[in-house]
Amino acid sequence: MVQTIPARNLALGDLIDKFNLQRATDDQFFTEWLTDLPELSEVEKQTLDRVKNNYLYLIERYSMSESIVKMVVLSPLLDLAGFYQPPYRVEGEPSVEIVVEDEGEIVRGQIDVLVLHHQLWILVVESKRNTASIEVGIPQALAYMLGNPNPEKPTFGLVTNGSYFGFLKLTQQGVPQYARSDDFSLYRRDNELYSVVSILKRLGNLLLQ
């Protein structure tokens, strides 16, 4: 009998045991979040300042659901990154299945936001409730990224709860390997959404080269 495992119930250790996932130790494995980042215009920075102020105002007064986090924070970030324009296509919450070989198990779950470029997955965005640490979303995001139908190409992800942001990279050539960026926070003095959008633009440009 095949057992179905909700992706939200997976821990990082489960992915290590079931998929032989390994953390990359090479500093050069994930440099895309550090190098060749595009500069933002003053208008883009002003927009991101407004996004930050909107979020901080709301979070002080309300318990923000996942849907509100998407609307207030994620949507304007994806817009500024250009993912609502050709040649990208955005799909919301498509179903993903990952078959665990030889164990009679299927890992199934929902992706919050998926950005596609000519059927190629380039970005998985996991928005968690703002009260949850992004650490909770990392195994879930990696599980979805392992379902990439083009495993010969790297998959990039962004995990956020609205307050904190972290990028992921996964490769599946040979042994699956992943790495993560530093975390970015809306609670720091500088507006780190500038970096988040620059990285999103950088990842999008990789597929247009």
The 10s digit of each residue's pLDDT in 4-62 is 667 767 789 999 998 999 999 999 999 999 999 999 999 999 999 999 999 999 888 87
Separation between Cα atoms, residue 158 and residue 114, nearest integer Å: 10
Number of structural domains (the chain) is: 1
C-alpha distances (whole Å) from 38 to each of 110, 163, 205 are 31, 23, 10
pTM (predicted TM-score): 0.88
The range of the structural domain enclosing residue 84 comes to 3-206
Q: Give the containing element (helix H, strand E) for 164.
A: strand 164-171
**What CATH number does the domain containing 190 carry?**
3.90.1570.30
Instruction: Single out the residue of 203, 11, 191 nearest to residue 117, CA to CA.
Output: 203
pLDDT above 90 (res 162): no
The amino acid at residue 72 is V
Separation between Cα atoms, residue 177 and residue 24, nearest integer Å: 6
DSSP lists the bridge partners of residue 47 as none
Separation between Cα atoms, residue 178 and residue 122, nearest integer Å: 15
Separation between Cα atoms, residue 78 and residue 74, nearest integer Å: 6
pLDDT above 70 (res 101): no
Give per-residue pLDDT as tens, 123-142. Answer: 666 565 555 678 878 888 89
Instruction: Single out the residue of 168, 157, 150 nearest to residue 111, CA to CA.
Output: 157
